Structure formats: structure tokens, C-alpha cells
């Protein structure tokens, strides 16, 4: 399961041209989940069992409510990808950095990053939305592009934690991806990806001498002030915000009105549905405003009820804060709240995987030390259990 999360960009890129290709990913992911459960590789506590059983039972509520098969497949596929991926965060940190898996992950990550950066140069990768030139590649929305780029930024941070070579080059690729993220115009996801980028930048430079690090920061600040900032106003992120305000629309792009509408939908539901939900088809099939809630909390209230929302919040908090109030986990939880409130989280699979990778990378005790040469590794394996003669100063061992 953890390997599939780390090579997810490949499936998403192909999905641009072969619609539904990511369902193949889901099929393999769920097969691996069943296999790991059968072999006792996954351990569940009592709360996780109760929460997962509740969401499984919600499939029945959705069927009773008349949800179509397509809606059931799409919504529960995204929900269970989100919930199951949280179970393997610790395993993401245990990938052997010297094995074939690590090599495959690296190839997929940097091939996908190169594909995105090359697409950034192609006029056909852009669409005009809200009067801004937005980077969309061949995806149906800029949000799909933004969440893929965010996952790639997180994966480069994962790679930086494993390998100490070519740090400037890898940071340069991540910076290029950050610019691509700004060009998508997806403001909520861009902020999430930007936070992940800043954390990996700070981590990658923490080993530099303090004085040299200070000079690097000053030099970078000057470059940003002279080169980057003047060009930011022309990126889709800022163009979109400026055009929304100029047209008389709210900065939230109408979210306040959407939230009020869906809250009224929830308020008018029968009490039993308010507690246990009206099924996943309520929003997509039966609502007059068929553009989604742009808010996970409202979506869960309507689809899974108050009980489902409580389970969801506690489940995510326990998953992301598994190491207590460690800075990384707390930051990941705040990113989750930000995205879930202003746009959505569980339905954005690449964004979900981004936080899984982020927590696995920077949590306390996560991921072993960076790679060393094969010679050192072989010597370690030979002499690990061999006593050292400390009286013989002239001997290497």
C-alpha cells in the first residue's frame, strides 16, 4: 500500500489521457489492503474499527436513499482511499532507501516532475478561468493539477530526507513545481503546497553552517525581491484574486453563499438523517446546487450525519497527530483543517497522500538517516557485531 501511495503521480498523469485509469490504482490499493489485513500487517484499534464499520454501513444508507452506482463508486472510492492511507503513515517511513522500491519511487517522482515542468512551457496546458491564464495541463480542473503538484513537492521532500546528494538541484525542481502550483490558481491547495515546500526548504538547509546559511537566506531574499515578487502578480493565483474582487464577487468566490445553501439543506433534513446522514447522493444528485459544498464538514454532515463528521474529525486527528503535538503533525492537521474547510480534503486523493508523505517524512523518528556509500554499508554489515580493539590505535577497526 505504501509503495502505491508513493508512485501515485504516474496513475494521475495517465488519467489525463485515459479517463478512469486511477480506478485501476484503487483496485490494486484495496486488494493490497485486504491482503495486509489477512496477513495481520495492519493493526486497528477499537476506534478505527468502529469508524470504518460506520462508513461501510453508510453504503447501505446511500443505497436506501437511491444513490446511483456511479455516485457510490466515485464517492466511497475517494473516502476509503483517504481513510486507509492514514493507516500506513508509519510504514511510509520504513521504505528501504537502498532497495529497488526506492529507485522506482525516485524515477516516478522526477519523471512526473519533469513532465509537469515541461507542460508548464506549453501553451496548450493553459485555460482561461476568471480572466486569468491558469495552468491545467490536460486535467478537467485546475484543482487536479494543483493536488498532483503538491504531492510531487511532498515526494521531493521525502527524497531529500532519504538522500543527501544534489540538494540544490532537488530544491530547484521543487521551486519550479511551486511556481507551477501558483499558476494553477487553486488558492486553497496552493497554500497547502507552499507550506510543505517551506518546511522541506528549512529542513534541507539546516545542516549548513549558520553563517553560510544566513548568507544564503539573505541572497535568496534579494533574488526573490528583485526577480520573483514582480512576476507574482501575473501568476494565476494573484490574477484570479484580483479579478474576483474587481468584478464585485467576494474573495471567497461565492463560498459563503454555497455554505449557507447547504447548511439550510442540512437543517431541513429529518432528525434521523441529521444524525446518520442522507447518503452520498444527496449532494451530487438531489441538490439543486450541483457544484459541491466546497467544505468537507458540510459534505460529511449531509452525507454521513453528525456521527459521521465526528468520526471523520477524530480519525484524521488521531492519524496526523499520532506522535502527539509534534510540530510536523500539528502543522499537517492545520493544513487538513484549512483544506477541508475552504475546499475539501477527502475527495482530493493526491492532497491526502501529500499529507501522509509529509507526516511520514518529518515526524519524530520518521525515516532513517540519509544514504551512505555502498562501501560503508558493506563494512557496516561485516563489522556491526565484531568487537573493536580500542587498544590498537593504529588499526582502522
How would you classify the pairing of strands 132-135 and 126-129?
A: antiparallel
* Banded pLDDT at 289 (limits 50, 70, 90): low
Does the structure show a pLDDT above 70 at 387?
no
Q: Which residues pair with 129 in a beta bridge?
A: 132
The partner residues of 133 in beta bridges, in order of sequence, read 128
Give residue 70's pLDDT: 85
Q: Which residue has the higher pLDDT, 351 or 40?
A: 351
pLDDT of 348 over the 70 cut: yes
* pLDDT > 70? residue 230: no
For residue 197 the three cell numbers come to 515546500
What is the model's pLDDT at position 343?
Answer: 85
Model confidence band, residue 364 (pLDDT cutoffs 50, 70, 90): low
**pLDDT tens-digit profile of 255-278?**
778 888 888 888 888 899 889 988
pLDDT at 222 over 70: no
Contact 243, 128 (CB under 8 A): no
Report the chain's C-alpha Rg in angstroms: 23
Distance CA 324, CA 327 (A): 9
DSSP conformation letters of 100-145: HHHHHHHHHHHHHHHHHHHHTT-GGGEEEETTEEEE-TTSSSHHHH
DSSP β-bridge partners for residue 128? 133
Is the Cα dihedral 222, 226, 229, 235 positive or negative? negative
Q: Examine the pLDDT at 380 and tell me if it is beyond 90.
A: no
Percent of the chain with pLDDT over 70: 76
Measure the CA–CA gap between 58 and 276, rounded to whole angstroms: 8
* CB-count exposure of residue 203 (10 Å: 0-12, 13-18, 19+): middle
168-203 pLDDT per residue, tens: 788 888 888 988 888 887 888 989 999 999 888 888
Burial of 313: CB neighbours in 10 Å, binned 0-12, 13-18, 19+: middle
pLDDT above 60 for 55? yes
With cut-offs at 50, 70 and 90, classify the pLDDT of residue 150: very high
Please state, in angstroms and rounded to a whole number, the distance separating the CA atoms of residues 85 and 355.
10
Q: Is the pLDDT of residue 377 over 60?
A: no
Q: Is the pLDDT of residue 41 over 80?
A: yes
**Separation of alpha carbons 87 and 75, rounded Å:** 19
Burial of 370 from C-beta contacts in 10 A (0-12 / 13-18 / 19+): middle
Cell of 149: 503538484
pLDDT surpasses 70 at 302: yes
Q: What is the pLDDT of residue 242?
A: 52
* Residue 375 predicted with pLDDT over 50: no
Q: What is the mean pLDDT of the chain?
A: 79
Q: How many helices (H) and strands (E) does the chain have?
A: 20, 2
Whole-model pTM: value is 0.82
Amino acid at each position: 500500500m505504501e509503495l502505491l501511495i508513493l508512485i501515485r503521480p504516474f496513475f494521475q498523469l495517465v488519467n489525463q489521457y485515459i479517463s478512469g485509469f486511477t480506478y485501476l490504482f484503487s483496485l490494486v490499493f484495496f486488494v493490497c489492503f485486504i491482503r495486509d489485513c489477512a496477513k495481520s500487517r495492519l493493526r486497528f484499534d477499537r476506534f478505527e474499527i468502529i469508524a470504518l464499520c460506520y462508513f461501510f454501513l453508510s453504503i447501505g444508507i446511500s443505497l436506501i436513499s437511491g444513490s446511483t452506482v456511479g455516485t457510490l463508486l466515485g464517492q466511497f472510492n475517494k473516502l476509503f482511499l483517504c481513510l486507509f492511507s492514514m493507516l500506513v503513515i508509519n510504514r511510509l517511513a520504513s521504505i528501504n532507501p537502498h532497495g529497488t522500491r526506492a529507485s522506482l519511487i525516485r524515477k516516478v517522482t522526477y519523471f512526473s516532475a519533469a513532465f509537469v515542468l515541461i507542460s508548464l512551457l506549453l501553451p496548450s496546458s493553459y485555460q482561461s478561468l476568471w480572466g486569468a491564464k491558469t495552468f491545467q495541463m490536460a486535467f478537467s480542473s485546475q484543482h487536479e493539477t494543483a493536488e498532483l503538484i503538491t504531492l510531487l513537492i511532498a515526494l521531493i521532500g521525502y527524497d531529500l530526507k532519504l538522500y543527501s546528494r544534489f540538494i540544490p538541484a532537488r530544491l530547484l525542481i521543487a521551486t519550479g513545481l511551486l511556481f507551477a502550483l501558483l499558476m494553477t490558481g487553486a488558492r486553497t491547495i496552493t497554500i497547502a503546497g507552499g507550506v510543505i515546500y517551506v518546511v522541506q526548504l528549512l529542513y534541507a538547509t539546516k545542516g549548513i553552517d549558520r553563517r553560510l546559511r544566513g548568507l544564503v537566506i539573505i541572497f535568496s531574499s534579494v533574488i526573490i525581491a528583485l526577480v520573483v515578487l514582480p512576476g507574482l502578480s501575473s501568476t494565476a493565483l494573484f490574477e484570479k484574486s484580483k479579478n474576483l474582487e474587481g468584478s464585485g464577487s467576494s474573495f471567497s468566490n461565492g463560498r459563503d453563499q454555497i455554505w449557507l445553501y447547504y447548511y439550510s439543506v442540512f437543517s431541513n433534513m429529518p432528525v434521523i438523517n441529521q444524525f446518520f446522514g442522507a447518503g452520498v447522493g444527496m449532494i451530487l444528485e438531489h441538490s439543486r446546487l450541483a457544484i459541491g459544498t466546497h467544505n468537507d464538514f458540510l459534505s460529511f454532515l449531509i452525507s454521513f450525519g453528525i456521527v459521521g463528521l465526528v468520526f471523520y474529525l477524530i480519525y484524521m486527528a488521531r492519524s496526523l497527530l499520532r506522535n502527539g503535538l509534534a510540530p510536523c503533525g500539528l502543522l499537517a492537521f492545520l493544513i487538513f483543517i484549512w483544506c477541508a474547510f475552504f475546499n475539501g480534503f477527502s475527495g482530493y486523493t493526491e492532497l491526502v497522500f501529500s499529507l501522509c508523505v509529509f507526516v511520514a517524512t518529518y515526524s519524530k523518528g520518521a525515516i532513517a538517516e540519509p544514504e551512505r556509500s555502498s562501501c560503508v554499508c558493506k563494512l557496516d554489515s561485516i563489522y556491526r557485531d565484531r568487537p573493536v580493539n580500542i587498544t590498537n590505535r593504529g588499526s582502522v577497526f
